[in-house]
Amino acid sequence: MERQQHRADVVIVGSGYGGSIAALGLAEAGIDAVVLERGRRWPVTDAGDTFATQTAPDGRAAWLSETSPLTDAKLDVYTGVLEFVEGSGMNVLAGTGVGGASLASNGTMCEPSAALFRRTLGDVLDHREMSGRWYPEARELIGCSPIPDDVYESGFYRSARSFADQLDKAGIPWEKVDLAVDWDVVREEMAGTRVRSQIDGLNVFGVNSGAQRSLDRTLLARAEASGHITVRPLSVVTAVRPAGGDGDGFHVDYESIDERGTVRSLHRITTTRLVLAAGTLGTNRLLLRARESGALPALHHALGTRVGNSEVITARTGMAENNPRQGGPAAIFARDWEDNPLGPVSLLNFPWPDAPAEEGWITTIGAVPAPALGTFRYDQEKDDVVLHWPAGDPALARAQSAITHTLDRLNEANPGSRTAFSRIGTTGGNVVGGVPLGTVTDDAGRVGGHPGLYVVDGSLLPGTGVPPALTVAAVAARLTSLLVRELVGTR
């Protein structure tokens, strides 16, 4: 199959938070760019049937696989919204599709405290600069906001109110977290004029009502509307390499596939500036493959290191019935950051549609500032990366003890409740790191040893002790501003 040749001023690989923010920043500066996205577009339909659901899973739930850890069903092979990759000690989930992880997530936008920020990121980034400028800018770009009072007080969110009440009794601070949600659409769900999605907690594989403020429908759509940004879905990047001598840019090889994964054509696009925003898994996959093949030999030896997963999954029961569907997304953010002697713990009430009927359950997902102990390594036989995670490390046991302490406080303050389940996640949807900012790249995201190569996604970060989406977006906004300044200065 002959490889088709193309050129572009700037190529962005990936359309999640990093890629979409980079695309919009370039568009607003009048800079043309091509976005290569391996997944398909997911337009929300009036029929409310765009995505699979937890109650009716099918191939749309998984990326080219018959199985998913999120369902026991056997799936048809399709370019679905979540890729699952088995690792050693930890597995990885990665979003796929135009909009990346924003399609199939709770959309929780949590900002770490100054102490948590510095504990996990050190002094690579200035916290005052981030909190004063880039976190607010990220919130504005995403358009996030907390659950409104009328929605919160409705019968669909009894579980959220129950969680807040229990936190009050335990003396644990909480807030209504910012969420990438269109609350008017949620109100339409409540009124019965949109398919029930968020109010039934059906958001793991996408939100059929359109209530999710996913990037394909918000800031990436704005970037495309400018005429400067071209998005090419179903374009799987397989290799990156220098185009020639110093300063000549890069060749990016990719396969154009159909929705069943069949390769339809081969392409090579040559660019002066290459921006990697393929997510933690995708960016590590491309860079480690390039280093091991000799295509990008100058990549730093720290590539693949400092991989973190602070995700915490818990369930408690024994309380008064608080509606089995537990309306979502996660609205209440518990911040046991100051009074936990074993370490800070963050918890968000997480909707679980299959919670046992007529029983009071509260499921949470959250984070602890566990050390970034994971490593991505290239497996030549698989031609892929494998995440190695030291699940038995004592530091992770200490983090688990901190979670247990928070749950014990909740149970003691709410007699009759008990912990049914608690662990640091072994299948990570919030895995970050592998391309340490300030080491593999400089503090502007420029990859050392390869001028014209940039990274703007969650692979730069070891974690922040809270769910990472807002920090990924804030860092991407900062790096994009520096990239735009650099490109405008070269005109």
pLDDT in tens, 155-175: 999 999 999 999 999 999 999
Q: Is residue 14 part of a domain?
A: yes
What is the band of 245 on the pLDDT scale with cuts at 50, 70, 90? Answer: low
Q: Is residue 322 part of a domain?
A: no
What is the band of 46 on the pLDDT scale with cuts at 50, 70, 90? Answer: very high
Q: Angle at CA 341, nearest 5°, toward 339 and 345? A: 65
**Tokens representing residue 445 in the block:** 């995201």
Q: Rounded CA gap, 163 and 71, in Å? A: 26
What is the band of 317 on the pLDDT scale with cuts at 50, 70, 90? Answer: very high
Q: What integer is the mean pLDDT of 378-386?
A: 94
- Residue 135: per-residue pLDDT: 98
Q: Is residue 248 part of a domain?
A: yes
Burial string for 21-38 (b: 16+ CB within 10 Å, else e) reads bbbbbbbebebebbbbbb
Strand (E) or helix (H) holding 371: none
Return the CATH number at 458: 3.50.50.60
Q: Is residue 203 part of a domain?
A: no
How many domains in the chain? Answer: 1
| Residue range(s) defining the domain that contains residue 283 | 1-42+81-143+213-303+428-491
Q: Is residue 315 part of a domain?
A: no
- Residue 427: per-residue pLDDT: 66
- Residue 150: per-residue pLDDT: 98
Percent of the chain with pLDDT over 90: 84
Q: Which of 53-62, 72-81, 421-430, 434-443 has the lowest mean pLDDT?
A: 421-430
Q: Is residue 117 part of a domain?
A: yes
pTM, two decimal places: 0.96
What is the band of 426 on the pLDDT scale with cuts at 50, 70, 90? Answer: low
What is the band of 326 on the pLDDT scale with cuts at 50, 70, 90? Answer: confident
pLDDT, tens digit, for every residue of 453-488?
Answer: 999 999 999 988 899 999 999 999 999 999 999 998
Q: Is residue 189 part of a domain?
A: no
**Tokens representing residue 334 in the block:** 């518990």
- Residue 365: per-residue pLDDT: 87
Q: Is residue 26 part of a domain?
A: yes
| Lateral strand order in the sheet of 91-95 | 82-85, 91-95, 427-428
